[in-house]
Amino acid sequence: MTAPDRRETPAPVLIASDLTYDYGPRRVLEGVGFEIARGEVLGLLGPNGAGKSTCLRLLTGYLTPTRGWATLVGHDVTHAGPAARRHLGYVPEDPRLYPYLTVEEILRLFARLKECSPASVAGECERVCEQLALNAVRRLAVAKLSRGFRQRVAIAIALLGAPPLLILDEPTNGLDPWQVIELRELVQTLSAHHAIIVTSHVLSEIERIAARAIFLCEGRLLGEYVIERDRPGELERQFLAITRAPS
């Protein structure tokens, strides 16, 4: 007789419910809700103007929803403003880094901005340098780094303080093929300890790194797809079928 499987489903790190946002008289996001657990990579997909950026700004506390809410490990992130950012790491599509600071200087600066205790700043910088393989360049100015290493620095900044949620907005933009492969492997490694949301227009990359994808179109959540590794190209077919369907 086979013993029952008693493994518990991981509790969600992030729960979003009915997220709605009006920009003046225009509704740009309506009724969006989803969950993500630690150890999971979720693709947030949609055509240009679908509402992805607005959704991310709501989750990161840069905008307050017209209606709805989101909690991150029990904290209300949609109404807490800057305080919410302590519980997540966000890497924007075009990270703005201080070019004349060294990697170590910029990490120490952001560790203090993230309110890491003075006693923990050095240890946090050591930890993320090791995690992101930055030790070889930590004394170089950011301006001297390749695009791939600058992206690693941006992710290292996001990981300061060990937030449970990591959000990567178009992380492969501008990277060469080898850098894309390195980033893909890095995301898979980080997913063991974090919940990760990734946006990308490169559906084949989402298919390689994510377990699920959700589709936004015209501000609405149209569907979800559980990614099957043995069916390459199926995510693209699902995306086209859902986003082209008449509303």
What integer pLDDT is reported at residue 134 of this predicted model? 96
| pLDDT(238) > 90 | no
Tokens of 137: 């360049």
| pLDDT(1) > 50 | no
**Contact (Cβ atoms closer than 8 angstroms) between residue 181 and residue 187:** no
What integer pLDDT is reported at residue 8 of this predicted model? 62
Cβ neighbours of residue 227 closer than 8 Å, sequence gap 6 or more: 43, 206, 207, 210, 211, 212, 213, 234, 235
**Contact (Cβ atoms closer than 8 angstroms) between residue 123 and residue 154:** no
| pLDDT(6) > 80 | no
What integer pLDDT is reported at residue 232 of this predicted model? 83
Residues composing the chain: 247
pTM of the predicted model as reported, rounded to 2 decimal places? 0.91
- Percent of the chain scored above 90 by pLDDT? 70
Cα separation, 115 vs 41, in Å, equals 27
What integer pLDDT is reported at residue 36 of this predicted model? 97
Among residues 154, 39, 22, 36, the alpha carbon closest in space to that of 90 is found at 154
Enumerate domains of the chain plus CATH numbers: 12-95+164-244 (3.40.50.300)
Tokens of 140: 């170089």
**H or E stretch at 43:** strand 41-45
Cβ neighbours of residue 173 closer than 8 Å, sequence gap 6 or more: 93, 94
The identity of residue 123, as a single letter, is: G
pLDDT band at 241 (very low <50, low <70, confident <90, very high): confident
| pLDDT(53) > 70 | yes
The residue with tokens 């989402």 is 206
